[in-house]
Every structure is written in structure tokens, then in C-alpha cells.
Amino acid sequence: MRVVYLFLLGAIVAVFLFLRTCADRKVEKITGKEIVREDEEYLGSWASKTKNSYIAFRLRRDGAFHYSLVAYPVKDTTKITGKYELLNSPGGNLNYFPRLCTFNESGDTLFNYYIRYVTPYNSTVDKYSKMVLSPNSVFDTIEYVFYRIKQ
């Protein structure tokens, strides 16, 4: 009898997750914003500021990529749309970070960076959700920090 209860519990959880996913997709469609869950923390809109520019990009669930760059002080804005790919390390080698490659509409590469860090879904450490991109996979070298922004 206990096995039946266990099976029932599993079924309820599965139905719950399925319905939640359906609800998420529906909400995403209506609001146009990504509902980010576990293992997809890279999705959504990210931005960073420097003295000379404001960079923002959005990774959509359907693989679309939007990029905008505002160059100060004249505030010239460049907008690029295209697609992105998330490449995991060859053979699942944990010594390398996953790689984010983005391309514009004509297929030219815009980003080719390692994702060194993304705030985990249930993180209690980070106050803000952030993503750290790096041109190489070596710890403690050049990195670009982007913060998740409200869409």
C-alpha cells in the first residue's frame, strides 16, 4: 500500500511540474518576459555599465538574442538582433565553463565568452542575480559582470 502512496506522490509532483511549466509558458507569452527556473538561470535580460557605455542583452527561450549598446556621452544606440547558442564543454569536462556564443542576423559572431558564473536559482548568497562572462576559462583573469534587469 505504501508503494501506491509513493507512486501517487510522484504522480502529483509530475502533474504539478507539468502544469507549472504550462502556466510559465502561457505567462511568458502574455507578458513577453522569461520566467526563469532551475538550470535555465542564463535566460532573461542582462545589463552592465561602464564609464563609456551601457550594454544590455537578452537571451530568449526560443534562441533569439537581442543586444543593445549605448555609447556615452552622445548616447548613440546600436541594436542588434540574432540568435545565441550555449555550448557545453566537450565531453562534459568540468574543467571548462560552458560557452555563450551569440551571432547577428548575418551569422557574424558577437559574443564568444565562457559563462564563469550565474547566480543559482535558489542562491541565498547573492543579493542580485548576476552573470559573469570571461574570454578565457582561467580563474581570476578578465571578467565582465552583468546584472539581471527587470524587463
Partner 1 sequence: MRLIFNWCTLFFLVLVMTGCSSNSNKKAVNAADLDSIMAEEAKNAPAGPVRNNLSADELIKVSDCNDAACVQLFMKDLATDFVYAKKGEFASLTRSAIKDTAGQEMIMPVSTLYFSTDPGADWRVAHTVHKSEISNQLLNEFTAKGFSLQDSGYYYPTKARAYHYTSAQYPGKVLYFSTTYKPWGAKGIYLGANWVSFVFEVLSAQ
11 lies in the binding site for partner 1 (CB under 8 A)? no
Dihedral of the alpha carbons of 139, 111, 128, 49, in degrees to the nearest 10: 100
3-state secondary structure of 101: strand
Rounded to an integer, what is the distance from CA 124 to the centroid of its chain?
A: 19
Distance CA 60, CA 42 (A): 9
8 lies in the binding site for partner 1 (CB under 8 A)? no
Distance CA 114, CA 135 (A): 6
Residue 16 vs 105, nearer CB to partner 1: 16
Tell me the closest approach of the beta carbon of residue 79 to partner 1, in angstroms: 15
Distance CA 75, CA 98 (A): 33
Applying CB under 8 A, among 8, 19, 71, 87 the residue interacting with partner 1 is 19
5 lies in the binding site for partner 1 (CB under 8 A)? no
Which residue spans within 35-139 are E strands per DSSP?
Answer: 44-49, 53-59, 64-71, 76-87, 99-104, 109-118, 130-134
Tell me the closest approach of the beta carbon of residue 118 to partner 1, in angstroms: 9
- Map residues 21-60 to x or -, x wherever contact with partner 1 holds by CB under 8 A: --xx--x-----xxxxx---x--xx-xxx----x-x----
Give the length of the chain.
151
75 lies in the binding site for partner 1 (CB under 8 A)? no
Contacting partner 1 within 108-137 (CB under 8 A): 119, 121-123, 126-129, 136
The footprint of partner 1 (CB under 8 A) covers 12, 16, 19-20, 23-24, 27, 33-37, 41, 44-45, 47-49, 54, 56, 119, 121-123, 126-129, 136, 138, 140-141, 145, 147-151
